[in-house]
Structure 1
Protein backbone atom coordinates (compact mmCIF):
# COMPACT_ATOMS: atom_id res chain seq x y z
CA UNK A 1 0.00 0.00 0.00
CA UNK A 2 1.41 3.39 -1.03
CA UNK A 3 1.96 5.91 1.73
CA UNK A 4 1.20 9.56 1.24
CA UNK A 5 4.92 10.40 1.14
CA UNK A 6 5.63 7.71 -1.49
CA UNK A 7 2.76 8.90 -3.65
CA UNK A 8 4.03 12.49 -3.44
CA UNK A 9 7.50 11.37 -4.55
CA UNK A 10 6.04 9.56 -7.58
CA UNK A 11 4.08 12.64 -8.61
CA UNK A 12 7.16 14.87 -8.30
CA UNK A 13 9.23 12.40 -10.38
CA UNK A 14 6.58 12.26 -13.10
CA UNK A 15 6.42 16.04 -13.31
CA UNK A 16 10.22 16.22 -13.55
CA UNK A 17 10.26 13.75 -16.46
CA UNK A 18 7.58 15.76 -18.29
CA UNK A 19 9.52 19.01 -17.83
CA UNK A 20 12.73 17.43 -19.15
CA UNK A 21 10.84 16.08 -22.20
CA UNK A 22 9.35 19.48 -23.01
CA UNK A 23 12.75 21.18 -22.73
CA UNK A 24 14.33 18.56 -24.99
CA UNK A 25 11.59 18.97 -27.60
CA UNK A 26 12.23 22.70 -27.73
CA UNK A 27 16.01 22.33 -27.85
CA UNK A 28 16.13 19.69 -30.59
CA UNK A 29 14.59 19.93 -34.11
CA UNK A 30 12.12 17.24 -35.19
CA UNK A 31 13.82 14.00 -36.19
CA UNK A 32 12.43 14.29 -39.73
CA UNK A 33 13.78 17.79 -40.36
CA UNK A 34 17.15 16.58 -41.58
CA UNK A 35 16.09 13.16 -42.81
CA UNK A 36 16.20 12.25 -46.52
CA UNK A 37 12.96 13.02 -48.33
CA UNK A 38 11.89 10.75 -51.20
CA UNK A 39 8.81 11.24 -53.36
CA UNK A 40 7.63 8.31 -55.48
CA UNK A 41 5.78 8.94 -58.76
CA UNK A 42 3.94 6.17 -60.58
CA UNK A 43 1.46 7.00 -63.34
CA UNK A 44 -0.09 3.52 -63.20
CA UNK A 45 -1.10 3.28 -59.55
CA UNK A 46 -0.42 6.79 -58.27
CA UNK A 47 -2.76 9.50 -57.00
CA UNK A 48 -1.82 13.12 -56.39
CA UNK A 49 -3.90 13.01 -53.22
CA UNK A 50 -1.60 10.39 -51.64
CA UNK A 51 1.42 11.23 -49.45
CA UNK A 52 3.86 10.06 -52.12
CA UNK A 53 6.53 9.22 -49.56
CA UNK A 54 6.11 5.42 -49.77
CA UNK A 55 6.45 3.18 -52.85
CA UNK A 56 2.91 1.84 -52.35
CA UNK A 57 1.45 5.36 -51.94
CA UNK A 58 2.96 7.18 -54.95
CA UNK A 59 1.94 10.40 -56.63
CA UNK A 60 0.60 10.25 -60.17
CA UNK A 61 2.26 13.29 -61.79
CA UNK A 62 5.64 14.95 -61.99
CA UNK A 63 4.03 18.39 -61.55
CA UNK A 64 2.67 17.45 -58.12
CA UNK A 65 6.02 16.04 -57.05
CA UNK A 66 7.76 19.26 -58.10
CA UNK A 67 5.23 21.23 -56.07
CA UNK A 68 6.18 19.29 -52.91
CA UNK A 69 9.98 19.35 -53.14
CA UNK A 70 12.27 20.73 -50.48
CA UNK A 71 16.08 20.72 -50.24
CA UNK A 72 17.29 17.13 -50.37
CA UNK A 73 14.17 15.70 -52.04
CA UNK A 74 14.71 12.80 -54.42
CA UNK A 75 11.90 12.26 -56.95
CA UNK A 76 11.85 8.63 -58.12
CA UNK A 77 9.67 7.99 -61.17
CA UNK A 78 8.46 4.56 -62.25
CA UNK A 79 8.95 4.01 -65.97
CA UNK A 80 6.48 2.45 -68.40
CA UNK A 81 7.96 3.71 -71.67
CA UNK A 82 5.70 5.42 -74.19
CA UNK A 83 2.78 3.21 -73.09
CA UNK A 84 2.21 5.44 -70.06
CA UNK A 85 4.13 8.70 -70.60
CA UNK A 86 4.17 11.47 -68.02
CA UNK A 87 2.97 14.94 -68.96
CA UNK A 88 5.86 17.39 -68.78
CA UNK A 89 5.76 20.90 -67.35
CA UNK A 90 4.58 22.34 -70.69
CA UNK A 91 4.51 26.15 -70.73
CA UNK A 92 4.81 26.43 -66.94
CA UNK A 93 8.22 26.67 -65.25
CA UNK A 94 8.05 25.67 -61.57
CA UNK A 95 10.66 26.80 -59.05
CA UNK A 96 12.71 23.89 -57.68
CA UNK A 97 15.20 24.77 -54.96
CA UNK A 98 17.78 22.57 -53.32
CA UNK A 99 21.10 23.48 -51.71
CA UNK A 100 24.68 22.65 -52.66
CA UNK A 101 24.78 20.06 -49.87
CA UNK A 102 21.23 18.81 -50.43
CA UNK A 103 20.26 19.11 -54.11
CA UNK A 104 16.87 18.13 -55.51
CA UNK A 105 17.20 15.00 -57.69
CA UNK A 106 14.72 14.01 -60.42
CA UNK A 107 15.41 10.56 -61.80
CA UNK A 108 14.06 7.19 -62.91
CA UNK A 109 13.31 4.71 -60.15
CA UNK A 110 15.84 2.01 -61.00
CA UNK A 111 14.26 -0.34 -58.45
CA UNK A 112 11.06 -0.73 -60.51
CA UNK A 113 10.46 -1.45 -64.21
CA UNK A 114 14.19 -1.52 -64.89
CA UNK A 115 13.79 -2.11 -68.64
CA UNK A 116 11.22 0.67 -69.18
CA UNK A 117 12.36 4.28 -69.48
CA UNK A 118 10.54 7.21 -67.92
CA UNK A 119 9.04 9.11 -70.85
CA UNK A 120 8.00 12.75 -70.64
CA UNK A 121 5.80 14.31 -73.32
CA UNK A 122 3.76 17.44 -73.95
CA UNK A 123 1.61 16.09 -76.81
CA UNK A 124 -1.83 17.40 -75.84
CA UNK A 125 -5.21 16.99 -77.59
CA UNK A 126 -6.91 20.14 -78.88
CA UNK A 127 -10.66 19.96 -78.36
CA UNK A 128 -11.61 23.10 -80.32
CA UNK A 129 -14.08 24.45 -81.26
CA UNK A 130 -12.48 25.13 -84.63
CA UNK A 131 -13.29 28.26 -86.63
CA UNK A 132 -12.66 28.42 -90.38
CA UNK A 133 -10.57 31.54 -91.03
CA UNK A 134 -9.57 31.36 -94.70
CA UNK A 135 -10.24 29.25 -97.79
CA UNK A 136 -8.10 29.26 -100.93
CA UNK A 137 -7.72 26.90 -103.86
CA UNK A 138 -4.71 25.28 -102.13
CA UNK A 139 -5.51 25.22 -98.41
CA UNK A 140 -7.86 26.13 -95.59
CA UNK A 141 -6.95 27.81 -92.28
CA UNK A 142 -8.66 27.14 -88.94
CA UNK A 143 -8.11 28.37 -85.40
CA UNK A 144 -9.12 27.24 -81.93
CA UNK A 145 -8.73 28.78 -78.45
CA UNK A 146 -5.38 28.00 -76.84
CA UNK A 147 -4.61 30.41 -73.97
CA UNK A 148 -1.10 29.16 -73.10
CA UNK A 149 1.67 30.80 -75.04
CA UNK A 150 3.63 28.26 -77.10
CA UNK A 151 7.33 29.07 -77.45
CA UNK A 152 9.08 28.15 -80.67
CA UNK A 153 12.65 29.11 -81.50
CA UNK A 154 15.00 28.68 -84.40
CA UNK A 155 13.97 27.32 -87.78
CA UNK A 156 10.44 26.10 -88.59
CA UNK A 157 9.81 22.81 -86.85
CA UNK A 158 8.23 19.79 -88.50
CA UNK A 159 5.62 18.06 -86.36
CA UNK A 160 4.60 20.89 -84.04
CA UNK A 161 0.94 19.93 -84.63
CA UNK A 162 -0.62 16.75 -86.00
CA UNK A 163 -4.00 16.39 -87.70
CA UNK A 164 -4.53 12.66 -87.46
CA UNK A 165 -1.26 11.26 -88.83
CA UNK A 166 -0.39 14.40 -90.83
CA UNK A 167 2.40 16.45 -89.25
CA UNK A 168 2.32 20.22 -89.73
CA UNK A 169 5.36 22.48 -89.59
CA UNK A 170 5.37 24.90 -86.67
CA UNK A 171 6.23 28.59 -87.05
CA UNK A 172 6.99 31.19 -84.41
CA UNK A 173 4.79 33.69 -86.29
CA UNK A 174 2.24 33.44 -89.13
CA UNK A 175 4.06 32.14 -92.25
CA UNK A 176 3.61 33.32 -95.80
CA UNK A 177 1.14 31.74 -98.20
CA UNK A 178 3.68 29.31 -99.64
CA UNK A 179 3.50 27.26 -96.38
CA UNK A 180 0.48 25.09 -97.18
CA UNK A 181 0.89 22.70 -94.21
CA UNK A 182 1.60 24.97 -91.25
CA UNK A 183 0.71 25.71 -87.64
CA UNK A 184 1.42 28.64 -85.32
CA UNK A 185 0.27 30.26 -82.09
CA UNK A 186 -0.86 33.88 -81.86
CA UNK A 187 -3.03 35.97 -79.56
CA UNK A 188 -4.40 33.13 -77.47
CA UNK A 189 -5.30 30.92 -80.42
CA UNK A 190 -3.76 27.97 -82.23
CA UNK A 191 -3.82 28.22 -86.05
CA UNK A 192 -3.75 25.34 -88.55
CA UNK A 193 -3.30 25.64 -92.31
CA UNK A 194 -3.71 22.50 -94.41
CA UNK A 195 -4.64 21.44 -97.90
CA UNK A 196 -4.85 17.77 -96.94
CA UNK A 197 -6.92 17.37 -93.79
CA UNK A 198 -9.50 19.09 -91.61
CA UNK A 199 -9.52 19.26 -87.78
CA UNK A 200 -13.24 18.45 -88.02
CA UNK A 201 -12.41 15.04 -89.49
CA UNK A 202 -9.38 13.99 -87.42
CA UNK A 203 -8.09 14.52 -83.91
CA UNK A 204 -5.51 17.27 -83.38
CA UNK A 205 -2.57 17.17 -80.97
CA UNK A 206 -0.07 19.92 -80.22
CA UNK A 207 3.36 19.82 -78.61
CA UNK A 208 2.44 22.25 -75.88
CA UNK A 209 5.73 23.53 -74.52
CA UNK A 210 8.64 21.87 -72.79
CA UNK A 211 9.14 18.46 -71.22
CA UNK A 212 10.92 19.99 -68.24
CA UNK A 213 11.20 23.72 -67.55
CA UNK A 214 12.66 25.36 -64.44
CA UNK A 215 12.17 28.95 -63.37
CA UNK A 216 15.06 31.36 -62.93
CA UNK A 217 14.78 31.02 -59.15
CA UNK A 218 15.63 27.31 -59.27
CA UNK A 219 18.80 26.18 -57.53
CA UNK A 220 20.85 22.97 -57.24
CA UNK A 221 18.81 20.48 -59.28
CA UNK A 222 20.02 17.17 -60.74
CA UNK A 223 18.08 15.58 -63.63
CA UNK A 224 19.11 12.05 -64.50
CA UNK A 225 18.03 9.08 -66.64
CA UNK A 226 14.83 10.40 -68.27
CA UNK A 227 13.53 10.38 -71.86
CA UNK A 228 11.49 12.90 -73.86
CA UNK A 229 9.27 11.81 -76.74
CA UNK A 230 7.48 14.83 -78.18
CA UNK A 231 8.02 18.38 -76.90
CA UNK A 232 9.07 21.83 -78.08
CA UNK A 233 12.20 21.78 -75.90
CA UNK A 234 13.33 18.78 -73.89
CA UNK A 235 14.76 21.09 -71.22
CA UNK A 236 14.33 24.83 -70.83
CA UNK A 237 15.78 26.79 -67.92
CA UNK A 238 14.93 30.44 -67.39
CA UNK A 239 17.79 32.94 -66.87
CA UNK A 240 18.95 33.22 -63.27
CA UNK A 241 18.85 29.53 -62.36
CA UNK A 242 22.00 28.08 -60.79
CA UNK A 243 23.63 24.65 -60.67
CA UNK A 244 21.32 22.67 -62.95
CA UNK A 245 22.90 19.31 -63.83
CA UNK A 246 21.61 17.05 -66.59
CA UNK A 247 22.85 13.54 -67.28
CA UNK A 248 21.56 10.54 -69.30
CA UNK A 249 18.71 12.52 -70.80
CA UNK A 250 17.43 11.03 -74.09
CA UNK A 251 15.55 13.14 -76.64
CA UNK A 252 13.23 11.94 -79.45
CA UNK A 253 10.93 14.01 -81.64
CA UNK A 254 11.89 17.25 -79.89
CA UNK A 255 11.36 20.37 -81.99
CA UNK A 256 13.99 22.82 -80.74
CA UNK A 257 17.30 22.52 -78.96
CA UNK A 258 17.49 22.84 -75.18
CA UNK A 259 17.49 26.39 -73.81
CA UNK A 260 19.79 26.57 -70.80
CA UNK A 261 21.25 29.95 -69.79
CA UNK A 262 25.00 30.37 -69.59
CA UNK A 263 26.14 29.57 -66.06
CA UNK A 264 23.22 27.31 -65.17
CA UNK A 265 25.28 24.20 -65.97
CA UNK A 266 28.45 24.37 -63.84
CA UNK A 267 31.72 23.59 -65.55
CA UNK A 268 30.11 23.24 -68.98
CA UNK A 269 31.03 25.60 -71.82
CA UNK A 270 29.69 24.57 -75.25
CA UNK A 271 29.07 27.07 -78.06
CA UNK A 272 26.59 29.80 -77.17
CA UNK A 273 23.51 30.83 -79.14
CA UNK A 274 21.20 33.72 -78.41
CA UNK A 275 17.47 33.03 -78.28
CA UNK A 276 15.64 36.29 -77.69
CA UNK A 277 17.07 39.58 -76.38
CA UNK A 278 17.69 38.42 -72.80
CA UNK A 279 18.90 34.85 -73.12
CA UNK A 280 22.41 33.89 -74.20
CA UNK A 281 21.78 30.15 -74.05
CA UNK A 282 23.80 26.99 -74.26
CA UNK A 283 23.10 24.86 -77.30
CA UNK A 284 21.82 21.46 -76.16
CA UNK A 285 21.07 18.32 -78.11
CA UNK A 286 18.11 18.20 -80.42
Structure 2
Protein backbone atom coordinates (compact mmCIF):
# COMPACT_ATOMS: atom_id res chain seq x y z
CA UNK A 1 0.00 0.00 0.00
CA UNK A 2 1.20 3.54 -0.85
CA UNK A 3 0.17 6.12 1.73
CA UNK A 4 0.34 9.80 0.73
CA UNK A 5 1.06 12.59 3.16
CA UNK A 6 -1.86 14.59 4.60
CA UNK A 7 -3.13 17.73 2.93
CA UNK A 8 -3.37 20.85 5.06
CA UNK A 9 -5.01 24.16 4.04
CA UNK A 10 -1.50 25.55 3.44
CA UNK A 11 -0.38 22.64 1.24
CA UNK A 12 0.31 22.56 -2.48
CA UNK A 13 -2.07 20.91 -4.94
CA UNK A 14 -2.04 20.37 -8.68
CA UNK A 15 -5.38 20.58 -10.47
CA UNK A 16 -5.66 17.93 -13.17
CA UNK A 17 -8.28 17.24 -15.84
CA UNK A 18 -7.87 13.57 -16.82
CA UNK A 19 -11.48 13.23 -18.03
CA UNK A 20 -13.63 16.14 -19.24
CA UNK A 21 -13.01 19.88 -19.23
CA UNK A 22 -15.12 22.32 -17.24
CA UNK A 23 -18.49 22.94 -18.85
CA UNK A 24 -17.98 26.65 -18.19
CA UNK A 25 -14.56 28.28 -17.95
CA UNK A 26 -15.95 30.54 -15.24
CA UNK A 27 -16.57 27.50 -13.04
CA UNK A 28 -12.93 26.49 -13.33
CA UNK A 29 -11.77 29.98 -12.41
CA UNK A 30 -14.18 30.24 -9.47
CA UNK A 31 -13.18 26.81 -8.17
CA UNK A 32 -9.48 27.62 -8.38
CA UNK A 33 -10.09 30.88 -6.53
CA UNK A 34 -11.97 29.00 -3.80
CA UNK A 35 -9.04 26.63 -3.25
CA UNK A 36 -6.58 29.52 -3.09
CA UNK A 37 -8.87 31.37 -0.66
CA UNK A 38 -8.45 28.44 1.76
CA UNK A 39 -4.70 29.03 1.75
CA UNK A 40 -3.74 26.27 -0.68
CA UNK A 41 -0.94 26.78 -3.18
CA UNK A 42 -2.54 25.79 -6.47
CA UNK A 43 -0.89 24.77 -9.74
CA UNK A 44 -2.88 23.90 -12.87
CA UNK A 45 -1.72 20.97 -15.00
CA UNK A 46 -2.71 22.24 -18.45
CA UNK A 47 -3.75 19.68 -21.04
CA UNK A 48 -1.94 20.49 -24.29
CA UNK A 49 -4.28 21.13 -27.20
CA UNK A 50 -7.33 22.00 -25.12
CA UNK A 51 -10.75 20.32 -25.09
CA UNK A 52 -11.75 17.87 -27.79
CA UNK A 53 -15.48 17.05 -27.85
CA UNK A 54 -16.34 15.66 -24.40
CA UNK A 55 -12.67 15.22 -23.41
CA UNK A 56 -10.35 17.80 -21.87
CA UNK A 57 -7.81 16.88 -24.54
CA UNK A 58 -6.44 14.00 -26.55
CA UNK A 59 -5.70 10.73 -24.78
CA UNK A 60 -1.97 11.35 -25.06
CA UNK A 61 -2.25 14.90 -23.72
CA UNK A 62 -4.49 13.97 -20.79
CA UNK A 63 -2.31 11.02 -19.81
CA UNK A 64 0.83 13.12 -20.21
CA UNK A 65 -0.45 15.90 -17.96
CA UNK A 66 -1.64 13.41 -15.34
CA UNK A 67 1.64 11.47 -15.38
CA UNK A 68 3.69 14.66 -15.07
CA UNK A 69 1.67 15.56 -11.97
CA UNK A 70 2.02 12.04 -10.54
CA UNK A 71 5.81 12.30 -10.85
CA UNK A 72 6.05 15.51 -8.83
CA UNK A 73 7.39 15.40 -5.28
CA UNK A 74 6.46 18.98 -4.45
CA UNK A 75 2.68 18.59 -4.38
CA UNK A 76 0.60 17.00 -1.62
CA UNK A 77 -2.46 16.19 -3.70
CA UNK A 78 -3.97 16.14 -7.17
CA UNK A 79 -7.46 17.64 -7.21
CA UNK A 80 -9.51 16.82 -10.30
CA UNK A 81 -11.18 19.61 -12.24
CA UNK A 82 -14.31 17.54 -12.86
CA UNK A 83 -15.42 14.07 -13.90
CA UNK A 84 -17.47 13.63 -17.06
CA UNK A 85 -15.86 10.96 -19.20
CA UNK A 86 -12.44 9.89 -20.41
CA UNK A 87 -10.46 7.93 -17.85
CA UNK A 88 -11.37 4.54 -19.31
CA UNK A 89 -9.52 5.62 -22.46
CA UNK A 90 -6.19 6.20 -20.68
CA UNK A 91 -5.93 3.67 -17.84
CA UNK A 92 -3.29 1.76 -19.81
CA UNK A 93 -1.23 4.96 -20.27
CA UNK A 94 -0.89 5.88 -16.60
CA UNK A 95 2.54 5.76 -14.96
CA UNK A 96 1.67 3.49 -12.04
CA UNK A 97 5.30 3.19 -11.00
CA UNK A 98 5.41 6.98 -10.52
CA UNK A 99 2.20 6.81 -8.48
CA UNK A 100 3.81 4.17 -6.27
CA UNK A 101 7.12 6.01 -5.95
CA UNK A 102 5.61 9.46 -5.32
CA UNK A 103 2.33 8.77 -3.45
CA UNK A 104 -0.05 11.68 -3.19
CA UNK A 105 -3.75 12.11 -2.59
CA UNK A 106 -5.97 12.02 -5.68
CA UNK A 107 -9.27 13.83 -5.03
CA UNK A 108 -12.37 13.39 -7.19
CA UNK A 109 -15.44 11.24 -7.81
CA UNK A 110 -17.75 10.21 -10.67
CA UNK A 111 -15.50 9.31 -13.65
CA UNK A 112 -12.49 9.62 -11.30
CA UNK A 113 -13.68 6.32 -9.80
CA UNK A 114 -11.84 4.52 -12.61
CA UNK A 115 -8.60 6.29 -11.67
CA UNK A 116 -8.98 5.55 -7.95
CA UNK A 117 -9.64 1.86 -8.53
CA UNK A 118 -6.87 1.47 -11.11
CA UNK A 119 -4.34 3.22 -8.84
CA UNK A 120 -5.34 0.97 -5.93
CA UNK A 121 -5.02 -2.13 -8.11
CA UNK A 122 -1.76 -1.25 -9.85
CA UNK A 123 0.03 0.86 -7.23
CA UNK A 124 -1.68 0.24 -3.90
CA UNK A 125 -2.41 3.99 -3.75
CA UNK A 126 -5.19 5.21 -1.48
CA UNK A 127 -7.44 8.04 -2.65
CA UNK A 128 -10.20 10.44 -1.70
CA UNK A 129 -13.64 10.38 -3.30
CA UNK A 130 -14.46 14.01 -2.70
CA UNK A 131 -15.26 17.46 -4.14
CA UNK A 132 -13.84 18.61 -7.46
CA UNK A 133 -12.84 22.07 -8.60
CA UNK A 134 -15.42 23.03 -11.24
CA UNK A 135 -18.18 20.72 -10.03
CA UNK A 136 -18.16 21.51 -6.32
CA UNK A 137 -15.69 24.15 -5.10
CA UNK A 138 -16.96 26.54 -7.77
CA UNK A 139 -20.50 26.22 -6.42
CA UNK A 140 -19.44 26.77 -2.81
CA UNK A 141 -19.22 23.94 -0.27
CA UNK A 142 -21.44 24.18 2.78
CA UNK A 143 -19.56 24.23 6.09
CA UNK A 144 -20.32 20.60 7.02
CA UNK A 145 -19.34 19.22 3.63
CA UNK A 146 -16.09 21.18 3.67
CA UNK A 147 -15.28 20.14 7.25
CA UNK A 148 -15.76 16.49 6.28
CA UNK A 149 -13.41 16.96 3.31
CA UNK A 150 -10.64 18.42 5.47
CA UNK A 151 -11.10 15.64 8.03
CA UNK A 152 -10.44 12.97 5.43
CA UNK A 153 -7.55 14.64 3.56
CA UNK A 154 -6.02 15.62 6.90
CA UNK A 155 -5.68 11.95 7.81
CA UNK A 156 -8.34 11.37 10.45
CA UNK A 157 -9.26 7.80 11.35
CA UNK A 158 -11.49 6.04 13.85
CA UNK A 159 -14.77 7.78 12.99
CA UNK A 160 -18.28 6.86 11.82
CA UNK A 161 -19.29 8.04 8.36
CA UNK A 162 -22.42 10.14 8.65
CA UNK A 163 -23.99 12.64 6.31
CA UNK A 164 -23.12 16.36 6.52
CA UNK A 165 -26.30 16.85 8.55
CA UNK A 166 -25.62 13.81 10.74
CA UNK A 167 -27.68 11.49 8.54
CA UNK A 168 -27.38 7.83 9.53
CA UNK A 169 -27.34 4.75 7.31
CA UNK A 170 -30.33 2.43 6.89
CA UNK A 171 -29.76 -1.34 7.23
CA UNK A 172 -30.83 -3.58 4.34
CA UNK A 173 -29.07 -6.82 5.37
CA UNK A 174 -27.72 -7.67 8.81
CA UNK A 175 -24.17 -8.59 9.76
CA UNK A 176 -20.76 -7.17 10.55
CA UNK A 177 -17.62 -7.13 8.44
CA UNK A 178 -14.21 -5.50 8.25
CA UNK A 179 -12.56 -4.93 4.91
CA UNK A 180 -10.99 -2.46 2.52
CA UNK A 181 -13.33 0.40 1.61
CA UNK A 182 -13.49 0.74 -2.19
CA UNK A 183 -15.94 2.18 -4.64
CA UNK A 184 -17.39 5.27 -6.24
CA UNK A 185 -19.63 5.53 -9.28
CA UNK A 186 -21.58 2.34 -10.02
CA UNK A 187 -21.33 2.72 -13.80
CA UNK A 188 -17.55 2.96 -13.61
CA UNK A 189 -17.24 0.00 -11.24
CA UNK A 190 -19.31 -2.01 -13.70
CA UNK A 191 -17.33 -0.74 -16.69
CA UNK A 192 -14.12 -2.10 -15.17
CA UNK A 193 -15.46 -5.67 -15.10
CA UNK A 194 -13.25 -7.86 -17.27
CA UNK A 195 -10.36 -5.37 -17.22
CA UNK A 196 -7.15 -5.65 -15.16
CA UNK A 197 -8.03 -2.43 -13.32
CA UNK A 198 -10.92 -3.60 -11.16
CA UNK A 199 -9.55 -4.59 -7.74
CA UNK A 200 -10.18 -7.99 -6.24
CA UNK A 201 -13.28 -7.09 -4.24
CA UNK A 202 -13.28 -10.28 -2.17
CA UNK A 203 -14.04 -9.23 1.41
CA UNK A 204 -14.13 -5.53 0.48
CA UNK A 205 -16.75 -3.02 1.59
CA UNK A 206 -18.02 -1.51 -1.65
CA UNK A 207 -19.75 1.88 -1.77
CA UNK A 208 -21.58 3.02 -4.91
CA UNK A 209 -23.67 5.91 -6.25
CA UNK A 210 -24.85 7.15 -9.63
CA UNK A 211 -26.62 9.96 -11.44
CA UNK A 212 -29.04 10.10 -14.35
CA UNK A 213 -29.63 6.34 -14.42
CA UNK A 214 -33.21 5.05 -14.44
CA UNK A 215 -34.07 2.21 -12.03
CA UNK A 216 -33.87 -0.41 -14.79
CA UNK A 217 -30.34 0.78 -15.62
CA UNK A 218 -29.28 0.54 -11.97
CA UNK A 219 -30.90 -2.90 -11.91
CA UNK A 220 -28.86 -3.93 -14.95
CA UNK A 221 -25.56 -2.80 -13.47
CA UNK A 222 -26.21 -4.61 -10.19
CA UNK A 223 -27.24 -7.68 -12.19
CA UNK A 224 -23.88 -7.63 -13.99
CA UNK A 225 -22.07 -7.48 -10.66
CA UNK A 226 -24.17 -10.39 -9.41
CA UNK A 227 -23.61 -12.50 -12.52
CA UNK A 228 -19.87 -11.80 -12.35
CA UNK A 229 -19.81 -13.16 -8.80
CA UNK A 230 -18.81 -9.80 -7.34
CA UNK A 231 -21.76 -9.29 -4.99
CA UNK A 232 -21.38 -12.67 -3.29
CA UNK A 233 -17.65 -12.09 -2.73
CA UNK A 234 -18.11 -8.69 -1.07
CA UNK A 235 -17.67 -8.30 2.65
CA UNK A 236 -20.35 -5.62 2.62
CA UNK A 237 -22.10 -3.04 0.43
CA UNK A 238 -23.15 0.55 1.06
CA UNK A 239 -25.50 2.35 -1.33
CA UNK A 240 -25.08 6.09 -1.74
CA UNK A 241 -27.43 8.42 -3.61
CA UNK A 242 -28.92 7.64 -7.02
CA UNK A 243 -30.02 11.06 -8.23
CA UNK A 244 -31.98 12.09 -11.33
CA UNK A 245 -33.28 8.53 -11.66
CA UNK A 246 -36.84 9.52 -12.56
CA UNK A 247 -38.78 7.80 -15.33
CA UNK A 248 -41.86 9.16 -17.15
CA UNK A 249 -44.96 8.87 -14.92
CA UNK A 250 -46.77 6.65 -17.43
CA UNK A 251 -44.00 4.01 -17.46
CA UNK A 252 -44.15 0.99 -15.13
CA UNK A 253 -41.09 0.84 -12.91
CA UNK A 254 -39.60 -0.25 -9.64
CA UNK A 255 -38.37 2.57 -7.44
CA UNK A 256 -34.63 2.85 -6.89
CA UNK A 257 -35.08 1.75 -3.27
CA UNK A 258 -36.95 -1.36 -4.43
CA UNK A 259 -34.13 -2.24 -6.83
CA UNK A 260 -31.48 -1.84 -4.15
CA UNK A 261 -33.45 -3.98 -1.71
CA UNK A 262 -33.82 -6.72 -4.33
CA UNK A 263 -30.03 -7.07 -4.70
CA UNK A 264 -29.12 -6.86 -1.01
CA UNK A 265 -29.70 -10.62 -0.42
CA UNK A 266 -27.05 -11.51 -3.00
CA UNK A 267 -24.28 -9.82 -0.99
CA UNK A 268 -22.15 -12.02 1.23
CA UNK A 269 -22.39 -9.66 4.20
CA UNK A 270 -24.13 -6.59 5.61
CA UNK A 271 -25.77 -4.05 3.31
CA UNK A 272 -26.79 -0.47 4.06
CA UNK A 273 -28.30 2.42 2.13
CA UNK A 274 -28.69 6.13 2.70
CA UNK A 275 -25.03 7.15 2.43
CA UNK A 276 -25.08 10.89 1.68
CA UNK A 277 -22.60 10.58 -1.16
CA UNK A 278 -23.00 11.21 -4.87
CA UNK A 279 -23.77 13.93 -7.38
CA UNK A 280 -25.22 16.38 -4.86
CA UNK A 281 -23.87 19.61 -3.35
CA UNK A 282 -23.94 18.34 0.25
CA UNK A 283 -22.14 15.04 0.62
CA UNK A 284 -19.69 12.99 2.61
CA UNK A 285 -16.09 12.61 1.47
CA UNK A 286 -15.00 8.96 1.40
CA UNK A 287 -11.50 7.51 1.72
CA UNK A 288 -10.64 4.86 -0.86
CA UNK A 289 -8.40 1.91 -0.02
CA UNK A 290 -8.53 2.05 3.80
CA UNK A 291 -9.87 -0.52 6.23
CA UNK A 292 -13.37 0.03 7.56
CA UNK A 293 -16.08 -1.81 9.50
CA UNK A 294 -19.71 -2.09 8.42
CA UNK A 295 -22.20 -3.13 11.09
CA UNK A 296 -25.92 -3.65 10.41
CA UNK A 297 -28.63 -4.99 12.68
CA UNK A 298 -32.41 -4.78 12.44
CA UNK A 299 -32.42 -1.18 13.69
CA UNK A 300 -29.28 0.64 12.61
CA UNK A 301 -26.25 0.58 10.32
CA UNK A 302 -22.80 2.06 10.92
CA UNK A 303 -19.81 2.49 8.61
CA UNK A 304 -16.70 3.05 10.73
CA UNK A 305 -13.41 4.13 9.12
CA UNK A 306 -10.59 2.34 10.93
CA UNK A 307 -7.47 3.63 9.18
CA UNK A 308 -6.20 6.93 7.82
CA UNK A 309 -6.00 7.50 4.07
CA UNK A 310 -2.61 9.13 4.65
CA UNK A 311 0.67 8.01 6.18
Larger RCO, structure (CA 8 Å, separation 6 or more): 2
Task: Provide the TM-score with structure 2 as the length reference.
Answer: 0.30
Structure with max Cα Rg: 1
Point out the structure with the larger strand share.
1
TM-score normalised by structure 1 residue count: 0.31
